Amino acid sequence: MDLRSKIQSATKDAMKSRDQLRLSTLRLISAAIKDREIAARTGEGEGAGLSDADLVAILAKMVKQRQESARSYEEGGRLELAEKENAEIAVIQEFLPRRMSDDEARAAIAAVIAELGAGSVRDMGRVMGTLKARYAGQLDFSAAGQMVKEKLL
């Protein structure tokens, strides 16, 4: 079952169970996907569908936005809003691939560096681009960037 079907199925289940928080979050996901599809259609001139990798990128972006919002709500003393953002993060993360552990991330980084023949920090952009293409949603790219830099120095 592809990611889009999983999201649609989860939306139907949330409607049946009357889980309002889950339902509203799933509807936000669907709206973000539709927005991206519309942007892709107007940009390309044809109705090309989004791949699962595109959907994972959308979901990862939504998680990052909610993490930033939750952090700012916590700093502002709005804990009830921060809790809502964290609950939305939990729903969105159900559809993302499992996060890699630090050891798995280091192994993936080492494999990409060896494959590309990267030898200096100047190759960091190519390495990060390849990692983002292969491991979208699985890697924490801020931490991965630091690991890549350490390997290439």
> What digits encode the pLDDT tens for the residues 85-111?
999 999 999 998 888 888 888 898 989
Name the token pair of 92: 């969105």
- Domain chopping of the chain, boundaries: 3-93, 102-152
Report the first-to-last Cα separation within the chain, whole angstroms: 42
Domain spanning 3-93, CATH architecture: Orthogonal Bundle (1.10)
**pLDDT tens-digit map of 33-89:** 999 988 888 765 444 578 887 888 899 889 989 999 999 999 999 999 999 999 999
| Separation in Å, CA 8 to CA 12, 119, 130 | 6, 45, 30
pLDDT (0 to 100) of residue 74: 95
Rounded to an integer, what distance in angstroms lies between the CA atom of residue 106 and that of residue 149?
A: 12
Q: What is the CATH architecture assignment of 102-152? A: Orthogonal Bundle (1.10)
For residue 48, the model assigns a pLDDT of: 56
Q: In the predicted model, is pLDDT for residue 141 greater than 50?
A: yes
Higher-confidence position of 73 and 117:
73
